[in-house]
Amino acid sequence: MNYKKLYKRLTDPIEKFESLGDCEQTAHGPMIFIDNNAPVLAVGHLDYVDFKEPKRKKQYKNTRIYDCPQLDDRLGVWMILDVLPQAGIKCDILLTDSEEAGQSTAQYFKTTKKYNWMMEFDRQGTSTVMYDYDDNDMRQLLREYDFDVEYGAYTDICKLESLGCKAFNFGVGYHGQHTAKCYANLSETWAVFSKVQSLYHDWSDTHLPHEEYTRPSVSYYNMGGINRGYHYTEASYSKGIKTFKPLAEETNKKSSKVLKPKHQEVIETVYDYEMDEQRSLEEIAQEKYSTAFDWLEDDKKVIVRHVYHDQLFS
Ligand SMILES: [Zn+2]
């Protein structure tokens, strides 16, 4: 696979995304909407807590992007802008700003369109969170596709309840978010992608209705963002967070007949996510000088190392 697009999404300033769709400048930064006439809305946030030049290395069955705080959530942005379309997963796209400040510009999104459901890829590891969209039907559905469901506190989709459909925030394989050591295992990214591909295949045509949950005016949940410093996301509290949940009678209500998980078809992989083979120092030495790397003179070793590092994001 080619990582140029990923590198671009990880490093482009927010302004570069504005021309991708209809851009509205709000009090909390831009909100960009790309209308693809699709049944599902995909959401991602462009802001990040810190920026560093991304590094990449290939590991056994994994590619790791590391020392890159902007993986949260530019990795998710890459997923919805570049990966999903290539896989034939058609979505309208909403790109936001100020999510890390608890003021996602998703709050300004107005539409007359009726989406069947929404998704976002803004979570560490591979688990899924539904916030106030959470109920037993949805949990049952996701488990059919082998998603682990957890609890979370906040991301863009929390501001979109008025759209009247369910929403999921899927783990996208990053870890150590909000630190300089933030990294992502793309093996995890692809594992989640495969499940989403299956979910979309079976459910993109089905409306999953949601009733907006009206919260008490003062709650743990509402104390986010502003009172708690510059960010307040599910990501900052990795394990065991207690968040505001729907009322017990809502979560315990019987599953509706309509939402019984459908029979799952096994999907032929329509998107080739086999990771590319990164040439080793040895291969480059052989190719350039027809000799083993260890046998090279120092100046030639330097050249080989340059070639090796240049390929990391090409
Ligand atoms: Zn995030």
Domain of residue 222, residue span: 4-259
63, 169: one domain: yes
User: Is residue 266 one of the residues assigned to a domain?
Assistant: no
Q: How far is the CA of 106 from the centre of ligand 1 (A)?
A: 13
User: Is residue 21 one of the residues assigned to a domain?
Assistant: yes
Position 235 pLDDT exceeds 50: no
Mean pLDDT of 228-251: 40
90, 233: one domain: yes
CATH number of domain containing 21 = 3.40.630.10
Token output for 1: 């696979």
Rounded-to-integer distance, Cα 24 and Cα 96, Å:
10
Nearest to 45 by CA among 174, 143, 229, 142: 174
Q: What is the pLDDT of residues 122-152, one digit of tens each?
A: 999 999 999 999 999 999 999 999 999 999 9
Mean pLDDT of 219-232: 40
201, 67: one domain: yes
User: Is residue 9 one of the residues assigned to a domain?
Assistant: yes
Rounded-to-integer distance, Cα 72 and Cα 74, Å:
6
User: Is residue 98 one of the residues assigned to a domain?
Assistant: yes
220, 140: one domain: yes
Token output for 118: 């929404």
Rounded-to-integer distance, Cα 144 and Cα 25, Å:
40
250, 285: one domain: no
- The pTM assigned to this predicted structure is 0.75
Token output for 223: 């104390």
- Looking at residue 269, its pLDDT comes to 55
132, 247: one domain: yes
Mean pLDDT of 253-276: 56
Averaged pLDDT score across all residues of the chain: 84
296, 208: one domain: no
User: Is residue 270 one of the residues assigned to a domain?
Assistant: no
116, 203: one domain: yes
Q: How far is the CA of 114 from the centre of ligand 1 (A)?
A: 25
User: Is residue 272 one of the residues assigned to a domain?
Assistant: no
Q: How far is the CA of 73 from the centre of ligand 1 (A)?
A: 5
Mean pLDDT of 199-203: 95
290, 254: one domain: no
Query: What stretches of the chain show up as alpha helix (H) in DSSP?
Result: 4-11, 71-78, 84-86, 136-144, 186-203, 248-251, 281-289, 298-310
- The count of domains in the chain is 2
255, 295: one domain: no
154, 231: one domain: yes
Q: How far is the CA of 245 from the centre of ligand 1 (A)?
A: 20
User: Is residue 274 one of the residues assigned to a domain?
Assistant: no
Nearest to 44 by CA among 115, 96, 105, 108: 96
Q: How far is the CA of 100 from the centre of ligand 1 (A)?
A: 6
Q: How far is the CA of 248 from the centre of ligand 1 (A)?
A: 28
Position 183 pLDDT exceeds 90: yes
Q: Is 249 helix (H, G, I), strand (E, B) or coil?
A: helix
Rounded-to-integer distance, Cα 304 and Cα 185, Å:
27
Q: How confident is the model at residue 311 (pLDDT cuts 50, 70, 90)?
A: low
Position 76 pLDDT exceeds 50: yes
Rounded-to-integer distance, Cα 99 and Cα 201, Å:
29
Name which residue leads in pLDDT, 304 or 72.
72
- Looking at residue 249, its pLDDT comes to 44
Rg (CA), the chain: 21
Q: What is the pLDDT of residues 20-34, one digit of tens each?
A: 999 999 999 999 999
Rounded-to-integer distance, Cα 196 and Cα 204, Å:
10
Q: How confident is the model at residue 261 (pLDDT cuts 50, 70, 90)?
A: low
Rounded-to-integer distance, Cα 86 and Cα 93, Å:
14
Q: Range with the lowest mean pLDDT among 163-167, 205-209, 266-270, 291-295? A: 266-270
224, 164: one domain: yes
Q: How far is the CA of 49 from the centre of ligand 1 (A)?
A: 9
Mean pLDDT of 253-270: 58
Rounded-to-integer distance, Cα 280 and Cα 55, Å:
16
Nearest to 237 by CA among 130, 154, 160, 168: 154
Q: How far is the CA of 155 from the centre of ligand 1 (A)?
A: 7
User: Is residue 268 one of the residues assigned to a domain?
Assistant: no
Q: How confident is the model at residue 246 (pLDDT cuts 50, 70, 90)?
A: very low
Q: How far is the CA of 311 from the centre of ligand 1 (A)?
A: 28
